[in-house]
Structure 1
Amino acid sequence: MNQAKTVFSIIVPTYNRPEKLAQCLQSFVQLEYPRDRFQVIVVNDSTEISVETTISPWQNQLNLTIMTQPNSGPATARNTGAFVAAGKFLVFTDDDCTVAPDWLQNLEKRFVETPDCLIGGRTVNALPDNIYSTASQQLIDYLYSYYNAIGDRAQFFTSNNFALPAEAFQKIGGFDTTFSLAAGEDREFCFRWLNLGGRAVYAPEVTVYHSHALTLRKFWRQQFNYGRGAFLFGQIISKRGAKGKRQHPSFYLNLLTYPLFHGSGIQMLLITGLFLVSQAGIAAGLFWEKKIFVEK
Structure 2
Amino acid sequence: MATPHLSLIIPVYNRPNEVEELLDSLTRQSETNFEVVIVEDGSKETCQHVAEAFKDRLDVSYCYIPNGGPGNARNYGAKQSKGDYLIVLDSDCILPPDYIKSVNKELEETGADAFGGPDKASDSFTDVQKAINYSMTSFFTTGGIRGGKKKMDKFYPRSFNMGIRKSTYEALKGFSAMRFGEDIDFSIRLFKNGYKVCLFPSAWVYHKRRTDWRKFFRQVYNSGIARINLYKKYPDSLKLVHLLPAVFTLGVFFFLVGSLFCTWSLLPLGLFSLLIFVDSSIQNKSLKIGFLSIIASFIQLIGYGCGFLDAAWNRLVLKKEEFSAFQKTFYK
Question: With structure 1 as the length reference, what TM-score do the two structures score?
Answer: 0.83
- Go from structure 1 to structure 2 and tell me whether the alpha carbon gap of 1:97 and 1:249 turns closer, same or farther (over 3 Å shift): closer
Task: Decide whether the 8 Å contact of 2:185 with 2:230 is kept in 1.
Answer: yes
Task: Decide whether the 8 Å contact of 2:121 with 2:206 is kept in 1.
Answer: yes
In structure 1, the residue matched to 2:299 is 277
Secondary structure of the residue that 1:83 maps to in structure 2?
Answer: helix
Gaps of 5+ in 2: 249-271, 325-332
Task: Decide whether the 8 Å contact of 2:143 with 2:150 is kept in 1.
Answer: no
Deviates most, 47-56 or 59-68: 47-56
**1:128 & 1:155 partners in 2: Cα distance?**
28
Deviates most, 112-121 or 125-134: 125-134
**1:249 & 1:50 partners in 2: Cα distance?**
39
Amino acid at match of 2:207: H
Q: Cα deviation per residue 1:215-250 (whole Å; 9 max; x = unaligned)?
A: 121121112111222222222224xxx452233988
Root mean square deviation of aligned Cα? 3.1
Moved over 6 A (4+): 248-253
Larger Rg: 2
CA drift of 1:195 comes to: 2.0
Task: Decide whether the 8 Å contact of 2:14 with 2:44 is kept in 1.
Answer: no
Task: Decide whether the 8 Å contact of 1:30 with 1:101 is kept in 2.
Answer: yes
Deviates most, 188-197 or 37-46: 188-197
Task: Decide whether the 8 Å contact of 1:155 with 1:190 is kept in 2.
Answer: no
**1:204 & 1:230 partners in 2: Cα distance?**
25
**1:47 & 1:95 partners in 2: Cα distance?**
13
Gaps of 5+ in 1: none
- Does 2:79 correspond to 1:87? no
Seq. identity, %: 22
In structure 2, the residue matched to 1:247 is 241
**1:140 & 1:266 partners in 2: Cα distance?**
18
- Go from structure 1 to structure 2 and tell me whether the alpha carbon gap of 1:173 and 1:26 turns closer, same or farther (over 3 Å shift): same
Question: Structure 2 residue aligned with 1:194, among 169, 174, 191?
Answer: 191
**1:259 & 1:188 partners in 2: Cα distance?**
34
Task: Decide whether the 8 Å contact of 2:51 with 2:61 is kept in 1.
Answer: no
CA drift of 1:129 comes to: 5.7
Q: Cα deviation per residue 1:168-217 (whole Å; 9 max; x = unaligned)?
A: 111112222213x5xx2222222221222223222221121122342121
Task: Decide whether the 8 Å contact of 1:92 with 1:161 is kept in 2.
Answer: yes
Amino acid at match of 1:126: S
**1:118 & 1:127 partners in 2: Cα distance?**
29
In structure 2, the residue matched to 1:119 is 115
In structure 2, the residue matched to 1:19 is 17
Tell me how many residue pairs correspond in the alignment.
284
Question: With structure 2 as the length reference, what TM-score do the two structures score?
Answer: 0.75
